[in-house]
A and B are shown apart, each in its own frame.
Chain A
Amino acid sequence: DTGVSQNPRHKITKRGQNVTFRCDPISEHNRLYWYRQTLGQGPEFLTYFQNEAQLEKSRLLSDRFSAERPKGSFSTLEIQRTEQGDSAMYLCASSWGGNQPQHFGDGTRLSIL
């Protein structure tokens, strides 16, 4: 069990640029979740996958956001045409099935200049 891995740890970009984050879940976990956390707040749900299927997306996830999980393994979260309000910590978590604790990665901190 190597834990949930997220890359990069930090991303600084100019407004209007596209960014992509990667999450590698714990290998035997079939569920993968993305959350967004702003300073001083609890994480907010963005989207989740069961295997390769994206089953739910939050209203927080505008059309500029897209997530994939090809082959039910790693996942990517892309933000197009970044805006100042996208600055946040993006957390990935994985679990085996429902009602099981989610294991979190270290997160990717996005800063928009």
Chain B
Amino acid sequence: AQTVTQSQPEMSVQEAETVTLSCTYDTSESDYYLFWYKQPPSRQMILVIRQEAYKQQNATENRFSVNFQKAAKSFSLKISDSQLGDAAMYFCASPIQGAQKLVFGQGTRLTINP
């Protein structure tokens, strides 16, 4: 079965600093995508960044970037220049081929200290 694991239930960082959230996954598929989603308190889950497994280059979206290690099945999210608005639950997710239903990790609650 496909699994996604986030080993850090909570993280905190000082405003303007950099933080890295960890994610490991297990899949038998040869071609797949990985996603990071952000869920602010009582608000909608939104896509932060997407990585295609066949691409060697790590995805980047403004202050958000990933460190994708395919052999190690690791997919970490780096947030640079952290802002107060980055405070949220962050979920790593991988879709299962075919249905493309998402399998989510347990989430990491990120706190930004002013």
Contacts and interface: CB of A to CB of B under 8 A. Distances in A.
A104 B35 CA distance: 13
A104 B45 contact: yes
Contacts of A104: 37, 44-46
Q: For the side of the interface on B, what is the size category?
A: 20 to 34
Nearest to B96: A45
B45 A33 contact: no
Kindly name the residue among B33, B93, B100 whose own CB sees the greatest number of chain A CB atoms within 10 A.
B100
A95 B100 contact: yes
A101 interface: yes
Interface residues of A, number: 26
Interface of A: 3, 31, 33, 35, 40-45, 48, 55-56, 91, 93, 95, 98-107
Interface of B: 4, 33, 35, 37, 43-47, 50, 91, 93, 95, 97-107
11 contacts: A35-B102, A40-B106, A42-B91, A42-B104, A43-B102, A43-B104, A91-B45, A99-B33, A104-B44, A104-B45, A105-B44
